[in-house]
Every structure is written in C-alpha cells, then in structure tokens.
Amino acid sequence: MGEVLALVEARLRTALGEPDARAAVTFLGTDRIEVLRFIDGDLVRYATLGMSAQPMADPTAALADPVKGPRAELVLTVRAGLADTDKVLRPLAVLAATPQVEGVIVAPGASLDVGDPLWPGASFSSVLVAEPGGLVEDLELDEPMDPVRFLPLLPMTSNEAAWKRVHEAQALEERWLTQGTDLRDPRRGSVRLD
C-alpha cells in the first residue's frame, strides 16, 4: 500500500509541482485519505492521496481481489481567490473514501454527491467524474495491478445533477461546452438546461 501511494505522490508532484498544503482525514473503518493542494498561477488544484492504495472492488463480487481491480485518485481544479475552496478538503476525502465505504467503483461518467455544499456558499454538492489523462497521466503499476487513473472532478449544481441522471454525462458535458461554461469558477451558477 505504502509503495503505491509513494509512486502516486511522485506522479502528482511531477505533473502539478510541489504541494503547498496537505490535510489527512480518517473515517471509521477506512484507510487514511490525504488531500494535497497545488497552486498553479490563478488556479488551485486539490488531489486525493490514498484512494488508490487498494483496488476498487466490484460490489457484486463475492470476494474483493486485494491486487487486481481499478485504482484511482481524484483531482479538482478551481480558480483561486474567488471562494473559500479550501473547505473542500473534507468533502474530497469523503468522495475518495466512497469505494471503501460504499463498495462502488468510481469511473468516468459517474456522479458523486456529498449532500452538502463542497465549500461555503457553493452551489455544488456533487461532482461529475470526467475522463482521465489530460492533466495527470495514468500511473502504470507492476502486473497484475491495474494502473492508477487520476480522475478530474467537475462540480455540478443540483439541477445539473438531476438533468445528468436523465440525459447522461456526455449530454451535460456538451451543454457546458456549447454554452462556454467556466467549470473552474467556484461561484458559477447552473448552466441553462431548457
């Protein structure tokens, strides 16, 4: 477990630079999850560290495989200085603990919800898991372990989350794109959905 997390942290540092802050959260019955903060000009990036320590298990499997299975970490990028986004550390740790707590596999296209605003005054309580590979490349591990994927998170308003449940993730992403939505704006409202 420690070896995988050391490799993951090294990959994050290579892609994002040195973290300027980190926090750790432990939930009853789960492994420790850290959240690292990286400042990149006018952007702040938050990355989880700990979710990939164990593979995510298929909830329908009788036994969880301790070696094989998808592994991931979560990455959230927002514009710095527009909101108190550092309060997102605990919600991100909650999302990263979801595979251990709820026995789900977090994959692109999935919605994750914490039930409360991601940070004070945020109009988002959920996120859309986007496709990996852009900001931080997958981390290959020794066989038979699956690579660690770094999954970007896109904050969603409750209206967007409800619309996505009906129309699927790709349709929501297209709506954001065609309307020029700044997904990194921590103060943005819902995109037009009519």
What average pLDDT does the segment 11-38 reach?
A: 91
189 in a domain, yes or no?
no
91 in a domain, yes or no?
yes
114 in a domain, yes or no?
yes
For 55-100, write each residue's pLDDT tens digit. Answer: 998 767 767 777 888 999 999 999 998 999 999 999 999 999 989 8
What average pLDDT does the segment 13-25 reach?
A: 94
Give CA–CA dist 41/96, Å, rounded: 26
What average pLDDT does the segment 22-43 reach?
A: 89
188 in a domain, yes or no?
no
Q: Is the pLDDT of residue 129 over 70?
A: yes
Please indicate whether residue 104 or residue 49 has the higher confidence score (pLDDT): 49
Closest CA to 50 of 26, 68, 28, 70: 26
191 in a domain, yes or no?
no
190 in a domain, yes or no?
no
Q: What pLDDT is attached to residue 29?
A: 72
Phi, psi (rounded to 5 degrees) for 54: -125, 150
pLDDT band at residue 1, thresholds of 50, 70 and 90?
low
Number of domains into which the chain is organized? 1
Q: What pLDDT is attached to residue 101?
A: 83
Which residue intervals of the chain are DSSP H helices? 2-16, 89-102, 158-167, 169-178
Which residue range forms the structural domain that includes residue 156?
Answer: 2-178
Cα angle 8, 17, 112 (rounded to 5 degrees) comes to 55
What is the average pLDDT value for the chain, to the nearest integer? Answer: 92
Biggest CA–CA distance in the chain, Å, is 49
Give CA–CA dist 129/133, Å, rounded: 13
Helix (H, G, I), strand (E, B) or coil at 112: strand
